[in-house]
Amino acid sequence: MKTKIVNGSVYYKGMLQELELLLKDGVIEKIAPLIEESADTIIDAGGLLVSPGLVDIHVHLREPGGEAKETIKTGTRSAARGGFTSICAMPNTRPVPDSKEKVEELYAKIEQDALVHVYPYGAITKNQVGKDLVPFEDLDVFAFTDDGVGVKDAGVMYEAMKRAANEQKAIVAHCEDLTLVNGGAMHDGERAKELGIKGITSMSESVHVARDILLAEAAGVHYHVCHVSTKESVRVIRDAKRAGINVTAEVSPHHLLLNENDVINDANFKMNPPLRSKEDQEALVRGLLDGTLDCIATDHAPHTEDEKRQPFEEAPFGIVGLETAFPLLHTFFVETKQLDVTQLLDFLTKKPAEVFGLKAGVIEVGAVADLTLIDLNREETVRKEEFYSKGRNTPFDGYKLKGIPVTTIVRGEVVYSKEEALV
């Protein structure tokens, strides 16, 4: 089966180029200005940007155990609609993927239901309770994390790092010192006082980041920081990189786009880490631009509407992000000239793939044919009721955005088309 993509502006070798692509048996076979070879299917990408498939290294699919919020099927449909062809699934499920058998069961479910590539994380500790370590050598996963909670015990984390280093795999951390959280629900700033909501200090994150970086240096492990949200964390990570410590970090679209002043008494503005101060927001943007923060990841965290209708302090943390990430970032960073579109593409394709050495995020001969076709001029309004995700929990409902993924191709097959609604 051969497919030819013509008339598109292809992001290839760091530049947008007028090229044609020939896909064969799920792989990119040829890239050239003109491909005369015939194909079974021709996709006319006239007026569209042809990007490597987007990559998201931080997604909560909820299955098994949380199917009311999301499933592998609905979550990967949501990913396809957002232009993502590879996603990394967090382990805060029930049961937790903390044994060889549970990981194998998860892979079987992914094989059955996933529309895009899904790379599952393994847990660091059994049942994610921060005590007994998983059998690192037995788990066929690319990295380990207890995301959703921080590993409190420094000794446990240090031992985990040493074992992960032996397997040449990364430790990935949700950095949160619960002794500094004290039941807070949003950032501990002026807006929390105005709303009468208990706050979460920035130190709850940055102290944990600093601790773990020192442990990682001693253990010789690749250490990755999830959803960085504070200026202090950015500073610590920047200093660690300058010192040659093997640390990488991600930032979420909502932390780049919003701050505590945007929060209203609506749990769709409640996420963990919370929206921080304007100074923190600005530090995150600078950190992304100067390379301190390696990539952008959505932290897609669906919940039911009933859960999010609860009072702010009682509702669960988290918002969805797969279907809005590219349009939001393109509208508020590329259209405003803060980023070039090729920079944005790197932050959502090549760079997240490089963090963990995933075979994704690039267009080159021999690469898996995972592609996203984007109409940079198309405008749409976010309507949460149209999401493919089960989650409707977004603070961006009603936003008018420009730059929309219109076709998503995985292994050479169209898995989403806006016009044909193939999903």
Q: What confidence tens digit (pLDDT) does each residue in 161-204 have? A: 999 999 999 999 999 999 999 899 999 999 999 999 999 999 99
Average pLDDT over residues 79-102: 99
Beta-bridge mates of residue 117:
86
For the record, the structure tokens of 138 come out as: 């037995």
Question: For residue 148, what pLDDT is reported?
Answer: 82
Average pLDDT over residues 212-219: 99
* Per-residue pLDDT at 263 exceeds 70: yes
* Per-residue pLDDT at 107 exceeds 70: yes
All structural domains of the chain, each given as residue ranges with its CATH number in brackets, are 2-49+368-417 (2.30.40.10), 53-356 (3.20.20.140)
Active site residues: 299
What are φ and ψ of residue 48, in 5° steps?
-115, 155
Average pLDDT over residues 211-233: 99
Burial 188-209 (b: 16+ CB within 10 A, else e): bbebbeebebbbbbbbbbbbbb
Distance CA 59, CA 172 (A): 13
Burial class (CB in 10 A: 0-12, 13-18, 19+), 111: exposed
> Would the pTM count as exceeding 0.95?
yes
* Per-residue pLDDT at 358 exceeds 90: yes
Residues at the binding site are 58, 60-62, 92, 147, 174, 227, 272, 299, 303, 317-318
- Average pLDDT of every residue of the chain: 98
Q: Are 187 and 257 in contact (CB under 8 A)?
A: no
Distance CA 171, CA 173 (A): 7
Q: What is the CA radius of gyration of the chain?
A: 21
Place of tokens 């609506």: 266
- The count of other CB atoms within 10 Å of the CB of residue 68 is 13
- The count of other CB atoms within 10 Å of the CB of residue 286 is 14
Residues at the binding site for substrate are 60-62, 92, 272, 303, 317-318
Burial class (CB in 10 A: 0-12, 13-18, 19+), 152: middle
- State the maximum Cα–Cα separation within the chain, in Å, rounded to a whole number: 66
Question: For residue 149, what pLDDT is reported?
Answer: 86
Residues at the binding site for Zn(2+) are 58, 60, 147, 174, 227, 299
Average pLDDT over residues 101-115: 99
- The count of other CB atoms within 10 Å of the CB of residue 318 is 23
Distance CA 158, CA 331 (A): 41
